[in-house]
Structure formats: structure tokens, C-alpha cells
């Protein structure tokens, strides 16, 4: 797989692997041996960029990656995150310097490594100046415990303030064919400052694969049950986007998921999506998207069609929305 550069020189595979769903968020956790098999298969197929966080589980996802990636640790890039009280999103935010340091030390142990390649602030904490957060990570970089600093779901002002203290290597935020808000201000700012962009949920939490409709039932502990965009009425309304993708995919002898990922890769050379999956066949399908070429005409056709589609439903419940774009 080809490589891309994030920010100030972090080289990663064109696609990364978002590992959250193996432990958290989308129903029961994947059985450990199966999860390790999937992570190692991703590595064998050229993926060297793996995304986790203390909050996924909490803690279990980092342990999983630590074990799965141990045989080739020096050949991969591991990104993890800090920013929640006790590592649990439900307890609120905490990016105080002592907490950041504690998370770094504990994540190093769970990941079975001596350095964190990319350390993201999971969400901007309005109670802690972003300059203080950036300064703490800068100290960790100087101490050799962290290599690169990242932000997640941060707004333009926070990005600029943080970047002035410690260069931000990557911003991780949601971006896909059904959430294009970053195109307004975020992507131009990242391009200006030389910061990489790592879209999470590049397949719209599975919706853009074409395998979800208004009749789909999620596991009781699946996060999508509380997402407004996934209520039955909105899933029905949003099928227009899935149909469009299906039509283009058919013309390209590809799948809807592959077209959605290929579209992202064609937006900017500093974009590295991190689709997640628990299934080997989906992993192979996602990897195939890196080889799909969309012509200027293809992209224009997608753009024109998207202008006719109004995606329905908020992407997060109200409480979670408050933590975003500070």
C-alpha cells in the first residue's frame, strides 16, 4: 500500500485501521483471538497506522493493540488519545496536565511500548487552555515518550492556538460523504498550516456501505441506537445517498464502501481515513479502495448528485455534540 505524510513528517499507509469497534461502541466486543487476527491481517496487507484510545473499552482496546502489534511494533504507527475523566466519556472531560501525563504513562504500559507515535487530545476541554495542553504534550515529546501531537474534533481557533505552541501533526474528526462540514473551515486551515487530516467514520458508521436500512436492528449496546441520524425515519430518508453510491460503484465495478473511501482519498493528499471493521472480508474490501481511481468527471458527477441530497438527522446526541469544535 502507498504511503501518505501527516503533518510534519509522520509517514503512514494511505488507509489506517480504526480499532475502536473491536472492543467498544458497536455491540459486543470481538473475541480476542479474532480481533488479533484481523489487526495482523491488516498489517500483512500494508496497513501500518492503527488508531485506539484509552476510552475504548475503556482500556481494553489499547491492551488488544499492544498484544496484536508486539511482533512488528517498530514497523507500525500507533495513535492513542487522552481527554476524559478516568478514561470514560460519560464522566466528562479532563485534559489537565497531570491527567495527560498519567494517561501517557498508563497507555505506554497497555500498548506494550516505550513511545506513543501520535497522541491526540480526544476532545477539547474548555476548562484547560489549549496552549497548556499543547505545552504538556510538547514536554512529553521532549522526554521521548511521545513522537507527535494530534487533536480530535477541534475547531479552527483551538487548532491555531495549539499549533503555535507545539506543531499539530494531525486532526482526527468525522468526515465522509454524509458529513462534509470540515470542508468549510477545517480543511482549508489544515492545508494552510501543514496539518494532516484523519477522518473517522469515513463510511458513516457503516451506513455508506449500503448494508443498513430502516429495518436494521442494532445490538442493544450499539452506540448507533442513540444517534439521531440512525433513527428509523432518518435512515429511510438517507437511502438516497446510498443509492447514489451504489450506482457509481456499479459503473466502477466496485462496492459502495470503496467509492466512499476513494472519494475521501481524492479530496486532499494529506487525508488518511481510518475505517474500522470486525470482519476480514470488509477489511479486504476497504483496502481495495486505495486502488480505485476517480476521474475529474467522476468527482464532478458525485458532487452534482450530492447537491440534490439533504442528509437528515444530527450526527451525535445533544450531550455529545456539546463536546465538539471548541
Cell numbers representing residue 124 in the block: 477539547
Residues 311 and 48: their CA atoms lie apart, in Å, by 33
Q: CB of 297 within 8 A of CB of 232?
A: no
Cell numbers representing residue 23 in the block: 472492543
175 is catalytic: no
Cell numbers representing residue 280 in the block: 476480514
Q: CB of 119 within 8 A of CB of 137?
A: yes
Please identify which residue in the block is written with the cell numbers 483471538.
Answer: 33
Q: Which of 26, 43, 56, 175 is catalytic?
A: 56
Residues 65 and 135: their CA atoms lie apart, in Å, by 27
Residues 255 and 261: their CA atoms lie apart, in Å, by 10
Nearest to 16 by CA among 4, 29, 32: 4
First to last CA, the chain: 35
* E strand or H helix that includes residue 148: strand 146-152
Q: Other C-beta atoms within 10 Å of 114: how many?
A: 9
DSSP secondary structure letter of residue 173: E
Nearest to 65 by CA among 102, 100, 117: 117
Nearest to 227 by CA among 319, 129, 154, 119: 319
Residues near 288 by beta carbon (within 8 Å), at least 6 away in sequence: 254, 258
Q: Which residues are catalytic?
A: 56
Amino acid at each position: 500500500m502507498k504511503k501518505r505524510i501527516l503533518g510534519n513528517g509522520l509517514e503512514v499507509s494511505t488507509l489506517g485501521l480504526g480499532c475502536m469497534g473491536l472492543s467498544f461502541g458497536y455491540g459486543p466486543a470481538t473475541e480476542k483471538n479474532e480481533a488479533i487476527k484481523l489487526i495482523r491481517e491488516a498489517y500483512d496487507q500494508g496497513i501500518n497506522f492503527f488508531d485506539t484510545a484509552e476510552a475504548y473499552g475503556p482500556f481494553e482496546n489499547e491492551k488488544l493493540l499492544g498484544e496484536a502489534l508486539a511482533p512488528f511494533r517498530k514497523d507500525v504507527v500507533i495513535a492513542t488519545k487522552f481527554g476524559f475523566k478516568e478514561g470514560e466519556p460519560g464522566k466528562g472531560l479532563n485534559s489537565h496536565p497531570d491527567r495527560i501525563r498519567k494517561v501517557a504513562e498508563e497507555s505506554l504500559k497497555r500498548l506494550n511500548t516505550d513511545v506513543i507515535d501520535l497522541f491526540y487530545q480526544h476532545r477539547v476541554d474548555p476548562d484547560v487552555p489549549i496552549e497548556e495542553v499543547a505545552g504538556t504534550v510538547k514536554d512529553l515529546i521532549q522526554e521521548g515518550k511521545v513522537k507527535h501531537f494530534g487533536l480530535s474534533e477541534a475547531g479552527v481557533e483551538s487548532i491555531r492556538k495549539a499549533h503555535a505552541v507545539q506543531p499539530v501533526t494531525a486532526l482526527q474528526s468525522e468526515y465522509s460523504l454524509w458529513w462534509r462540514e470540515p470542508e468549510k473551515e477545517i480543511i482549508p486551515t489544515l492545508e494552510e498550516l501543514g496539518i494532516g487530516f484523519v477522518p473517522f467514520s469515513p463510511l458513516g458508521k457503516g451506513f455508506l456501505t449500503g448494508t443498513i436500512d430502516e429495518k436494521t436492528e442494532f445490538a442493544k449496546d450499539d452506540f448507533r441506537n442513540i444517534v439521531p441520524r440512525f433513527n428509523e425515519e432518518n435512515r429511510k430518508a438517507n437511502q438516497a445517498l446510498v443509492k447514489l453510491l451504489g450506482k457509481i460503484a456499479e459503473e466502477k465495478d466496485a462496492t459502495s464502501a470503496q467509492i466512499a473511501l476513494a472519494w475521501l482519498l481524492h479530496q486532499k493528499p494529506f487525508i488518511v481515513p481510518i475505517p474500522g471493521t470486525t470482519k476480514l472480508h470488509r477489511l479486504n474490501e476497504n483496502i481495495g479502495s486505495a486502488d480505485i481511481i476517480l476521474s475529474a468527471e467522476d468527482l464532478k458527477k458525485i458532487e452534482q448528485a450530492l447537491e440534490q441530497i439533504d442528509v437528515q438527522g444530527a450526527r451525535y446526541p445533544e450531550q455529545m455534540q456539546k463536546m465538539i469544535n471548541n
